Amino acid sequence: MLTIKDLHASVEDKVILKGLNLTVKPGEVHAIMGPNGAGKSTLGYVLSGRDGYEVDSGKIEFDGRDMLGMEVDERAQAGLFLAFQYPVEIPGVSNMEFMKESVNAVRKERGEDPMTAAEFLKVAKAACQQVNLPLEFLKRGVNEGFSGGEKKRNEIMQMILLEPKLCILDESDSGLDIDALKVVANGVNSQRDGKRSFIVVTHYQRLLDFIEPDFVHILADGKIVKSGGPELAKEVEASGYAWLGEHQEASA
């Protein structure tokens, strides 16, 4: 599904990713943890091709395609989805309108007919209910005046509607109350069909109680410094990242 090889990337001439390797197979869930400023969000942006995030060297292959030459929208149409850590507002553009356009852009790429307004309304309502947002949220401006938790649920709703191949969730759990956390987790679990893959960026073990990962990676100072199973997340929860210092010295 996704192969990242020795990825070096920088933002405004500041080197952030320093030789990152990661392989994600179809159907797998990978959790990425790591200290603030380690480069987790940067990884999501680099994978989605955001302007200003320069790949200095390395390779990214997604679904058999070299991603480096592809535009942001092309990658999205190819099935890459990023749930934002801080979703932005687009005033005046209704959620409904926005998602219908998005879904149809992706369908077009897949060679499918665009959905009619009526067809789309039906799936949108279902997705909205699934993330436990009142239906009026479909009419409201994209993230306009949404609470932090509502924004996160809105991201999951978009993910459900777009049916991507690979979902990157950047701290979709932070700022959520316990019920909302379950909603997000259930949203993700409902989309686990054995083929769709997930990269879940989180600071807390608690999300991983609900979304059980196949692998857990620790990203620090621009690379994956340790990988393991679900137990690694529990270690981090118990002892934090103090041990990283030693590790880095050891690997230096």
Partner 1 sequence: MSEQIEQAIARKYDAGFISDIESDTFPVGLDEDVVRRISAMKNEPEWMLEWRLQAFRSWQKMKEPKWAHLGYTEIDYQSISYYSAPKSMKDKPKSLDEVDPELLRTYEKLGIPLHEQEMLAGVAVDAVFDSVSVVTTFRAKLEEAGVIFCPISEAIQKYPELVKKYIGSVVPRTDNFFAALNSAVFTDGSFVYIPKGVRCPMELSTYFRINELNTGQFERTLIIAEEGSYVSYLEGCTAPQRDENQLHAAVVELVALDDSEIKYSTVQNWYPGDENGKGGIYNFVTKRGVAEKNAKISWTQVETGSAITWKYPSCILRGDNSVGEFYSVALTRGRQQADTGTKMIHLGKNTTSTIISKGISAGNSSNAYRGLVKMGPNADGARNFTECDSLLIGDKCAAHTFPYIESSNPSAIVEHEATTSKVSDEQLFLCQQRGLDTEKAVSMIVNGFCKEVFKELPMEFAVEAGKLLEISLEGSVG
- Give the binding site for partner 1 (CB under 8 A): 48, 50-52, 71-73, 76-77, 81-82, 84, 87-93, 97-99, 101-102, 105-106, 109, 141-142, 158, 162
CB of 79 to partner 1, least distance (A): 10
Q: Please name which of 45, 81, 43 lies closest in space to residue 197, comparing C-alpha atoms.
A: 81
CB of 160 to ligand ATP, least distance (A): 24
d(CA 59, CA 6): 7
Q: Which is nearer to ligand ATP, 37 or 240 (CB)?
A: 37
Select the span of 32-40, 157-165, 192-200, 214-222 touching Mg ion (CB under 5 A).
Answer: 32-40
Binding partner of 39, given ligand ATP, partner 1, Mg ion, none, CB within 5-8 angstroms per partner class? ligand ATP
What count of Cα atoms within 13 Å lies in the side-chain half-sphere of residue 193?
9
CB of 106 to Mg ion, least distance (A): 25
Residue 37 makes contact with ligand ATP by CB under 6 A: yes
CA separation, residue 46 to residues 7, 20, 85, 176 (Å) = 10, 12, 14, 26
d(CA 180, CA 243): 32
**First-last CA distance in the chain:** 31
Binding partner of 32, given partner 1, ligand ATP, Mg ion, none, CB within 5-8 angstroms per partner class? none
Q: Which residues contact 245 (CB under 8 A, 6 or more apart)?
A: none
Compose the 83-122 pattern: x for residues touching Mg ion by CB under 5 A, - for all others.
--x-------------------------------------
Binding partner of 101, given partner 1, Mg ion, ligand ATP, none, CB within 5-8 angstroms per partner class? partner 1
- Among 30, 39, 41, 81, the residue binding Mg ion under the rule CB under 5 A is 41
Q: Which is nearer to Mg ion, 33 or 70 (CB)?
A: 33
Q: Which is nearer to partner 1, 53 or 215 (CB)?
A: 53
The contact set with ligand ATP (CB under 6 A) reads 11-12, 14, 16, 34, 36-42, 85
